[in-house]
Chain A
Amino acid sequence: MVIVGAGDCGVRAAVALRDLGHVGPITLAGAERHHPYERPPLSKTTLDNSADPLPKYIVTPERLATADIRLCTSVTAEAIDRTRKLLRLDDGSVLAYRKLLLATGARPRPLPMAVGLARCVTLRTFDDALALRAHLRPGRRLAVVGGGFIGLELAAMAREAGVDVTVIEALPRILQRGVPPAIAAAIHARHMAAGVVIRCGHAITSMVENETGLHITLADGDMLMADIAVIGIGALPNTALAEAAGLTIDNGIAVDDCLTTSDPDILAAGDCCSFPLALYGGRRVRLESWRNAQEQGALAAGTMMGQHDAHRAVPWFWSDQYELGLQIAGLADEAVDVVRRDLGPDAFLLFHLAADGRLLAASGLGPGNTVARDIRLAEMLIARRAHPPRDALADPGVKLKSLVVAESPAARHLEGVVT
């Protein structure tokens, strides 16, 4: 068993293969020099200059050793020979596989005008975060290009470090993709209160750097100066290896609901793959999230071991900014109706319903983890394709757990997350 990519997805798959009883060799090949670490802290706690800058390991080196998982770091997979079932690495080694899992992840989408500029960086790896945190000093000027999760989490951390922060978003609002307007507005307001300048609806027309800084010109002619800019305008799936091997690509490496590619001995999972989501009419989606990486890593291991479990988890995302925690379960984009439940002065939930009343998604924002429990319960309702009563959803006095039990009295156990 060979796994390309030693992020959350690949490592989870490797460990799961052993847990499922695989006795043969497992090789995990990663491009980075570090022992595999979790990526979510990189735009959060890793940037905190008062905290320990060590990466948070997904599993300890001892656990990998105990599980007899061979880890190769600082290697890139160069080519797959599908006929002979061989994987060639850039250090010259060749690995034979029975099943190959591509967990190659995604890379930051480049902003063409920023390419080659020393003051323009991205945030994807631990080394990126280390380089960036050195710039987070009071009075430094940071431009965040792109008002998505990573950019905004970084903006919050930088502002707390006393950095002057400007967020530039080309679309009319921040978090346009996948986050409902009411939550985006609350997060926008929180950033404003912290002193972040947010410029929405502004395309960048030029970026020029010199010894005084980075000169950014916006479409309306406004100019701003920054010491450093972080480009956070989305990610692209790493598909080159699969593409060169002739595998089907469709907004990522195309896989079926068991994560098998167009080659039955090659699977793909996590950020790099697109898969049919049965819960939403079988539409093909690609998810860039920590939990999806985990779940698909585990699911891929099952498929590699000959199981035929289909992916059925509900998409789930979270973000932490300042004291606020945001969580979203499900996909809201096809919803036609939104029901709001207030949980207090600074916390609320939104339920996103289809025309027939089916709960498609739920999103929530509040201090710390205040919305977590309700989002988790909503996730169960979403997984069960429930049609909860609108007035019950709106009423904070009605416990969501009672709706879950009413929907499916027999199933009182936790489900929906692959473990």
Chain B
Amino acid sequence: MADWVDACAAGDIDEEDVIRWDHAGRTFAIYRSPDDEYFATDGLCTHERIHLAEGLVMDDIIECPKHNGRFNYKTGLAKGAPVCINLQTYAVRVEAGRVLVQVG
């Protein structure tokens, strides 16, 4: 358990943006913050199972593309209606230009 998995190249994600990453039957969202840090969460919104990677990243917030539910992608914290369930987050580290996600 808690394996570190190579998800993508660091350059695959634009600054202040997000990509979808599917792994072992699960879907994740991997973020690159404006400060050039990387984060990962579950890929689907907790409200209606929409892929968050099609949403908008501004600062430390990801906004669901469908109903504007917002989460802090660094902490997973839901930021209010219509989302009330927090998002699962995963540890991320960058090594030799690769983004590794600890899928637990």
State how many residues of chain B have any CB contact under 8 Å with chain A.
22
> Which residue on chain B has the smallest CB distance to residue A45?
B48
Q: What are the interface flags for A364-406 relative to B under an 8 Å C-beta threshold, 1 for contact and 0 otherwise?
A: 0000111011001100000000000000000000000100000
A16 to B59, CA, bound (A): 25
A59 to B80, CA, bound (A): 12
User: Are B61 and A414 within 8 A (Cβ)?
Assistant: yes
A291 to B68, CA, bound (A): 9
Nearest first, the 7 A-B pairs at minimum CB distance are: A372-B65, A369-B65, A419-B80, A369-B54, A414-B58, A373-B56, A376-B56
User: Are A369 and B66 within 8 A (Cβ)?
Assistant: yes
User: Are A419 and B58 within 8 A (Cβ)?
Assistant: no
User: Are A373 and B54 within 8 A (Cβ)?
Assistant: yes
Counting contact residues on chain A (CB < 8 A from B), the size range is 20 to 34
Which residues in A have their C-beta under 8 angstroms from that of B74? none
Is the CB of A413 closer than 8 A to any CB of chain B?
A: yes
Q: What are the interface flags for B48-74 relative to A under an 8 Å C-beta threshold, 1 for contact and 0 otherwise?
A: 101100111011010101111010000
> Which residue on chain B has the smallest CB distance to residue A16?
B81
A13-67 at interface with B (beta carbon < 8 Å): 15-16, 56, 58-59, 63
> Which residue on chain B has the smallest CB distance to residue A399?
B14
User: Are B54 and A12 within 8 A (Cβ)?
Assistant: no
User: Are A294 and B82 within 8 A (Cβ)?
Assistant: yes
Is the CB of B9 closer than 8 A to any CB of chain A?
A: no
Is the CB of A417 closer than 8 A to any CB of chain B?
A: yes
A12 to B81, CA, bound (A): 8
Q: Known pairs A369-B66, A414-B56. 19 more at Cβ < 8 A? A: A15-B81, A16-B81, A63-B84, A298-B81, A368-B54, A369-B50, A369-B54, A369-B55, A372-B66, A373-B54, A373-B56, A376-B55, A376-B56, A376-B63, A401-B16, A414-B59, A414-B61, A414-B63, A419-B80
Report which A residues bind B (CB closer than 8 A). 12, 15-16, 56, 58-59, 63, 290-291, 294, 298, 318, 368-370, 372-373, 376-377, 401, 412-414, 417, 419
Question: Quick one: given A369-B50, A370-B54, are A413 and B65 in contact (CB under 8 Å)?
Answer: no
Which residues in B have their C-beta under 8 angstroms from that of A373? 54-56, 65
The answer, among B16, B50, B81, for a CB contact under 8 Å with A419, is B81
> Which residue on chain B has the smallest CB distance to residue A374?
B56
Could you list some 23 contacts between A and B, CB below 8 A? A16-B81, A56-B48, A58-B82, A59-B84, A294-B81, A369-B50, A369-B54, A369-B65, A370-B54, A372-B55, A372-B66, A373-B55, A373-B56, A376-B55, A376-B56, A376-B65, A376-B68, A412-B59, A414-B59, A414-B63, A419-B79, A419-B80, A419-B81
